[in-house]
Amino acid sequence: MFNLLGKHPDMKCHVSDLNSNLILAYLAIRDKVTEVIDSLEEHAKKYQKNPDSYYYHVRESEPVSQIEKVSKLIFLNKTCFNGLYRVNSKGKFNVPLGRYTNPNIVNKSNLLAVSQILQSSNLEFFCRDFESVLHDIKKGDFIYFDPPYQPVSKTASFTSYTNKMFTDDDLDRLANLAEKLDSMGCKVLLSNSKSKKVEKLFSASKWTIKEIRVNRAINSNSKKRTGHSEILVKNY
Q: What is the pLDDT of residues 202-212, one digit of tens each?
A: 999 999 999 99
Measure the CA angle with vertex 22, ends 20 and 25; round to 5°: 110
How far apart are alpha carbons 68 and 62 in whole angstroms?
9
The helix/strand count (H/E) of the chain reads as: 8, 6
Predicted local confidence at residue 87, as pLDDT: 87
**Do the strands 142-145 and 123-127 form a parallel or antiparallel pair, or are they unpaired?**
unpaired
- Asked whether residue 82 is domain-assigned, the answer is yes
- Asked whether residue 6 is domain-assigned, the answer is no
Residue 193 structural domain? 129-234
- Asked whether residue 9 is domain-assigned, the answer is no
The total number of structural domains that make up the chain? 2
Query: Which CATH number covers residue 135?
Result: 3.40.50.150
Kindly state the helix (H) or strand (E) to which residue 168 belongs, with its residue range. Answer: helix 168-183
Q: Report pTM.
A: 0.84
* Of 48, 81, 116, the domain-final residue: 116
Neighbours of 129 (CB within 10 A): 13
Same domain as 172, residue 88? no
Same domain as 92, residue 160? no
Measure the CA angle with vertex 163, ends 159 and 164; round to 5°: 65
DSSP code, position 208: E
- Asked whether residue 211 is domain-assigned, the answer is yes
Checking phi first, is residue 82 left (phi over 0); if not, alpha (psi -120 to 50) or beta? Answer: left
CB 86 within 8 A of CB 160: yes
Measuring CA to CA, which residue among 8, 14, 10 is closest to residue 143? 14
* Of 63, 93, 116, the domain-final residue: 116
Evaluate if residue 159 carries a pLDDT over 50.
Answer: no
- Asked whether residue 5 is domain-assigned, the answer is no
Same domain as 215, residue 180? yes
- Asked whether residue 135 is domain-assigned, the answer is yes
Query: Which CATH number covers residue 82?
Result: 1.10.1020.10
Same domain as 108, residue 50? yes
* Of 65, 81, 116, the domain-final residue: 116
Same domain as 134, residue 230? yes
Same domain as 198, residue 151? yes
Evaluate if residue 160 carries a pLDDT over 60.
Answer: no
- Asked whether residue 54 is domain-assigned, the answer is yes
Amino acid at 86: R
Same domain as 230, residue 136? yes
Checking phi first, is residue 80 left (phi over 0); if not, alpha (psi -120 to 50) or beta? Answer: beta
- Asked whether residue 101 is domain-assigned, the answer is yes
pLDDT digits (tens, 9 = 90+) for 1-47: 999 988 888 899 999 999 999 999 999 999 999 999 999 999 999 99
Measuring CA to CA, which residue among 74, 136, 138 is closest to residue 106? 74
β-partners of residue 213 are 229
